[in-house]
Amino acid sequence: MAPTGEHHLLSTEIVNRGIEPSGPDAGSLTFSVRVRRRLPDFVRSVNLKYVRLGYHYLINYGLIYLAIVPVVFLLFGAEVRRFGREEVWRMVSDSTRGYDLVVVLALFVVLTFTLTFYFFSRSRSIYLVDFACFKPPDDLKVTKEEFIELARKSGKFEEASLQFQKKILESSGIGDETYVPKSIMSPDTISTMKEGRAEASMVIFGALDELFEKTRIRPKDIGILVVNCSVFNPTPSLSAMIINHYKMRGNILSFNLGGMGCSAGIIALDLARDMLQGNPNNMAVVVSTEMVAYNWYPGNDRSMLIPNCFFRMGCSAVLLSNRRRDYRRAKYGLEHIVRTHKGGADSSFRSVYQEEDAQKFKGLKISRDIMEIGGEAIKTNITTLSPLVLPFSEQFFFFSTLIRRYFTGCGTASASGKPSQMLPPEQEINQFTPSSSSSSGNKPYIPDYKLAFDHFCIHPASKTALNELQLNLGLTDENMEASRATLHRFGNTSSSSIWYELAYLEAKGRVKRGDRVWQLAFGSGLKCNSVVWKSIRTIERPAAGNPWLDCIDRYPSPQL
């Protein structure tokens, strides 16, 4: 049975448990009802506030100038065309015709001011010159079985905790070639500054060395550096560590973002974009990573063991530029960044929470409601992004259907701008009627996001999350291939995951000139962020410098 109400975040499964052997109900059939939490139905509970916010962004992206400049230009042209050379001379010499001359001059001033304001206020073009993803050495590669054995040898986990992690791994979508630090097998404490710095040096310098080699850029040419790592934040910072290692210039603008979760990579991009807007003729490097060993949880709290199963080693380094001469060699142009933060709600704020357990072991605690909480953030972000990227036809059908449902009273509470209320599980179950969904006469129009984007890079948090997002967004298996392949081959590398996905698409030779790429990431806070790129040229299959080159022919794998 499936839920059919507009806001149901639970699905149920009725299981026949057989015949009751004893008691007052002996001989009768017994059933149990399993309630499974899932993502919200995005298109059946749309909040108009975020639709309006999306159109507000659309206006800010320059449409108002595209409307004002032609109008002023046409008025000025129409006024000037009324006068020939002799007419203009008579106006200058005849004081009675001075009014027309004033009108023409006024229109000329307005046109000049409008054009000047437009050219000086418009955003600078931001180019993605190239990027690199760190591939750890093969001696750090582990299978799922080896992972459990390493955890067992460390002597830090009870057998029940080991079995729980094994069960999680079996359904996680993670393959047998992911990478973990050797230090996790140690019986000693590994959440030390020494271990953190050692891992950071390996992954960060590995990614940056690859980037500088691919782009032939000297470290001293970089004017802006943004580094994001959620859990490991030493003093001096990771950005200072990079500057020291590569002996970068003294006036570099450096930033270090911490505690911002798996979506911090796009936040770092947003910061780099803002800095490039204010610093012409410059280049920026964005480094995104997470330290697995420093984040390793050695206790037995099951809600804190989940990150151990999913997070793996990885790092990305991205080179951005606002220099016009870099256009010809750049791969992508930046179109949109949309950020959504749900931290104002206590449930969202504590959905991914770093704290100590009863034995004072530090770890990330994952809320049991993470699926629906994360789903609400994703839904909000997508609703805001849609007006910026969807074709007019899709926006028209979606918006007209939404308005019709709103005025006919068939819309949801969220469609009217009011928050939805979750019913208790027993009331949810009573609301389920198998035929009502298919018979609904006001089913909303589902926008086809495949018309807006050619490629999808969705954060591979887990196999379940990817399955739910595919269902809600109406995407094909090919659309989700890069995300599932990345989860299988590299695991969840936190904020750098979306770059391993883009590297997968390039290794397959699928990115053509003019293609639009959507990167979607979500993480603690709870935050959901989107970035849209447009390919400047067709990306040829790389011969080197891509982490997928040794295994790309094995994907898509039947195991995905």
Phi, psi of 139, deg, nearest 5: -70, -10
Which of 121, 140, 169 lies at the terminal end of a domain, its last residue?
Answer: 121
22 pLDDT band (50/70/90 cuts)? low
Q: Residue 178: inside a domain, yes or no?
A: yes
Q: Which of 233, 245, 336, 341 is catalytic?
A: 341
State residue 50's pLDDT score: 53
Q: Is the model's pLDDT at 358 over the cut of 70?
A: yes
Catalytic residue, chosen from 459, 528, 529, 546, is 459
Higher pLDDT, 475 or 24: 475
Set 455, 457, 472, 528: catalytic member: 455
Residue 390's pLDDT is 87
- Are 110 and 132 in a shared domain? no
56 is catalytic: no
Residue 481 has pLDDT above 90, yes or no: yes
Q: How confident is the model at residue 133, as a pLDDT?
A: 98
- Do 511 and 447 form a contact (C-beta atoms < 8 A)? no
Give domain status of residue 436, yes or no: no
Contact 181, 211 (CB under 8 A): no
Q: What is the pLDDT of residue 436?
A: 33
Q: To the nearest 10°, the Cα dihedral for 53, 54, 60, 64? A: -110
Pairing state between β 283-289 and 315-321: antiparallel
- Do residues 228 and 260 lie in contact, with contact meaning Cβ atoms separated by under 8 Å? yes
- Residue numbers of the domain that contains 86: 65-121
Q: What share of the chain is helix, strand, coil (3-state, %, to 5)?
A: 45, 20, 35
Tell me whether residue 417 is in a domain.
no
pLDDT bracket for residue 506 (50, 70, 90): very high
**pLDDT above 80: residue 313:** yes
Average pLDDT over residues 523-537: 96
363 and 463 in a single domain? The answer is: yes
Buried b (16+ CB within 10 A) or exposed e, 101-128: eeebeebeeebeebeeeeeeeeebebbb
* HEC secondary structure over 396-445: HHHHHHHHHHHHCCCCCCHHHCCCCCCCCHHHHHHHCCCCCCCCCCCCCC
Among the listed residues 492, 528, 529, 546, the single catalytic one is 492
What count of other Cβ atoms lies within 10 Å of the Cβ of residue 176? 14
Respond yes or no: is residue 488 known to be catalytic. yes
pLDDT band at 66 (very low <50, low <70, confident <90, very high): low
User: What is the pLDDT averaged over residues 22-44?
Assistant: 50
Query: Could you report the per-residue pLDDT of 164-203, keeping only the tens digit for each?
Result: 999 999 999 999 999 999 888 778 877 889 999 999 999 9
Bridge-based pairing state of the strands 332-341 and 527-535: antiparallel
16 in a domain, yes or no? no
Looking at the structure, do residues 333 and 451 belong to the same domain, yes or no?
yes
User: Does residue 245 carry a catalytic annotation?
Assistant: no
Q: Are 109 and 189 in a shared domain?
A: no
Q: Are 495 and 265 in contact (CB under 8 A)?
A: yes
What is the predicted pLDDT for the residue at 379? 87
What is the pLDDT at residue 551? Answer: 95
Measuring CA to CA, which residue among 422, 333, 414, 403 is closest to residue 380? 414
The DSSP secondary-structure symbol of 492 reads B
Active site residue 8: no
Q: How many CB atoms lie within 10 A of CB 21?
A: 9
Residues 371 and 237 in one domain: yes
Q: Identify the active-site residue in 488, 528, 529, 546.
A: 488
Residues 74, 208, single domain; the answer is no
Q: What is the mean pLDDT of the chain?
A: 81
- Cα–Cα distance between 218 and 212 in angstroms, integer? 7
Higher pLDDT: 362 or 408? It is 362
pLDDT digits (tens, 9 = 90+) for 112-137: 766 665 555 557 899 999 999 999 99
By the 8 A CB rule, do 7 and 46 touch? Answer: no
14 — pLDDT class (breaks 50, 70, 90): very low
Q: How confident is the model at residue 438 (pLDDT cuts 50, 70, 90)?
A: very low
Residue 103 pLDDT level (bands cut at 50, 70, 90): low
**Is it the case that residue 329 has pLDDT exceeding 50?**
yes
Is-contact 152 161, C-beta < 8 A? Answer: no
Residue 22 inside a domain? The answer is no
133, 229, 262, 315: the catalytic one is 262
Span 242-247, average pLDDT: 98
Q: Domain tally for the chain?
A: 2
Based on the domain organization, do 161 and 294 belong to the same domain? yes
- Residue at a domain's end among 73, 93, 121: 121
Could you tell me if 352 and 370 are in contact, meaning their C-beta atoms sit under 8 angstroms apart?
yes
Mean pLDDT of 516-526: 95
- Residue where one domain finishes, among candidates 106, 121, 136: 121
Q: Does 3 reside within a domain?
A: no
The pLDDT value recorded for residue 429 is 28
The reply to whether 135 and 111 lie within a common domain is: no
Q: Per mean pLDDT, which range of 63-77, 106-120, 391-405, 467-481 is the poorest?
A: 63-77
Tell me which of 236 and 14 has the higher pLDDT.
236
Active site (annotated) includes residue 262: yes
39 found inside a domain: no
The whole-angstrom separation of Cα 529 and Cα 542 is: 28
Same domain for 308 and 452?
A: yes
Task: Report the distance separating Cα 517 and Cα 85, nearest Å.
Answer: 54
Do both 168 and 85 map to the same domain? Answer: no
Q: Domain for residue 263, yes or no?
A: yes
Q: Are residues 153 and 80 in the same domain?
A: no
At position 550, the amino acid (one-letter code) is: D
- Looking at the predicted structure, is the pLDDT value of residue 518 above 90? yes
- β pairing state of 315-321 and 127-133: antiparallel
The tokens for 32 are 């149990």
Q: Note the pTM of the prediction, 2 decimals.
A: 0.79
Is 479 a residue of the active site? no
Q: What is the mean pLDDT of residues 370-383?
A: 89
Which stretch of 38-47, 171-180, 411-420, 542-551 has the lowest confidence by average pLDDT?
A: 411-420
Judge if 117 and 141 occupy the same domain.
no
Q: What is the 3-state secondary structure (H, E, C) of 272-331?
A: HHHHHHHCCCCEEEEEEECCCCCCCCCCCCHHHHHHHHHECCCEEEEEEECCHHHCCCCC
**pLDDT (average), residues 216-241:** 96
For residue 352, give the CATH number of its domain.
Answer: 3.40.47.10
pLDDT grade for 439, boundaries at 50, 70 and 90: very low
Nearest to 559 by CA among 179, 178, 173, 177: 173
